[in-house]
């Protein structure tokens, strides 16, 4: 049975939300900043951030029996004997707001999509920080089905392992789409040597959502 971790509050990064909107910090006008703040407050009021997770053995290119891809295993799990498989969701509240504004305000709906994506990233960061607090070994970088050669179809195996439907109300349909939509499944190894994380580790130089690399 998976373990459940709930969060009362999440950090919000406006720069991250603007990145999802494909704006630089200096490119967004005052109207956008003001509207983004308004939408952020609405989203914050309905957030129900929760995660369910399990520890699993790393064996070759598999974690807990789930095939993660040869390249992904080599990049993210090299030197790891154990990993954490997790599912995280912000809850159904943002989906309800998206449904509301999808019919009445396309601009606000786009902002809400970006705010939700930024909060989902923040939830994963908060969870990994929680994991790190309880471990002497360094965590690796998390990676998700559909990233690199980690098959998207592995979503079914992750759901079978964690049962997030019962744990945190997260479901998966036949098209491998999750509900609530602002949700993430991922794996993070520990005990590996430090490597570049996130966008710095990715070879997709032309990705629209690539963060600035210093």
Q: Domain for residue 212, yes or no?
A: no
**Whether the predicted pLDDT of 213 surpasses 50:** no
Question: pLDDT of 99-113, one tens digit each?
Answer: 999 889 999 999 999
What local confidence, expressed as pLDDT, does residue 194 receive? 54
Tell which residue, 19, 130, 141, 135, has the closest CA to residue 78. Answer: 141
Q: Would you state the structure tokens that stand for residue 168, as one six-digit string?
A: 């945190």
Asked which of 4-18, 27-41, 51-65, 148-162 is least confident by mean pLDDT, the reply is 27-41
Q: Domain for residue 213, yes or no?
A: no
pLDDT-based confidence at 177, cuts 50/70/90?
very high
Q: Domain for residue 209, yes or no?
A: no
Q: Position of tokens 């049962």?
A: 163
Q: Domain for residue 206, yes or no?
A: no
Q: Domain for residue 58, yes or no?
A: yes
Exposed, middle or buried by CB within 10 Å (0-12, 13-18, 19+), for 113?
Answer: buried
Q: How many domains does the chain have?
A: 1
Provide the CATH number for the domain around residue 56.
3.40.109.40
pLDDT-based confidence at 214, cuts 50/70/90?
very low
Question: pLDDT of 125-147, one tens digit each?
Answer: 999 999 999 778 889 999 999 99
Helix (H, G, I), strand (E, B) or coil at 187: strand
Question: pLDDT of 22-45, one tens digit each?
Answer: 876 567 788 888 999 999 999 999
pLDDT-based confidence at 21, cuts 50/70/90?
confident
What local confidence, expressed as pLDDT, does residue 135 receive? 79
Domain span at residue 128 reads 3-201
Q: Domain for residue 176, yes or no?
A: yes
């Amino acid at each position: 049975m998976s373990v459940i971790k709930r969060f009362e509050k999440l950090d919000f990064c406006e720069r991250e939300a603007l990145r999802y909107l494909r704006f630089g910090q200096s490119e967004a006008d005052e109207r956008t900043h003001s509207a983004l703040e308004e939408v952020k407050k609405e989203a914050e009021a309905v957030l129900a951030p929760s995660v369910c997770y399990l520890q699993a053995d790393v064996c070759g290119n598999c974690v807990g029996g789930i095939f993660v891809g040869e390249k992904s295993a080599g990049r993210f799990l090299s030197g790891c004997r154990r990993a954490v498989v997790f599912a995280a969701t912000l809850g159904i509240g943002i989906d309800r707001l998206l449904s509301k504004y999808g019919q009445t305000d396309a601009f606000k709906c786009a902002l809400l999509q970006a705010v939700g994506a930024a909060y989902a990233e923040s939830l994963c960061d908060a969870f990994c920080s929680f994991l790190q607090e309880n471990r002497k070994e360094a965590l690796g970088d998390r990676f998700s089905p559909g990233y690199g050669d980690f098959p998207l179809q592995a979503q079914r195996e992750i759901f079978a392992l964690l049962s997030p439907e019962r744990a945190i109300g997260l479901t998966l349909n036949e098209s491998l789409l999750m509900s609530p939509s602002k949700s993430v499944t991922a794996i993070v190894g520990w005990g590996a040597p430090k490597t570049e994380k996130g966008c710095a580790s990715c070879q997709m130089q032309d990705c629209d959502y690539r963060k600035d690399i210093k």
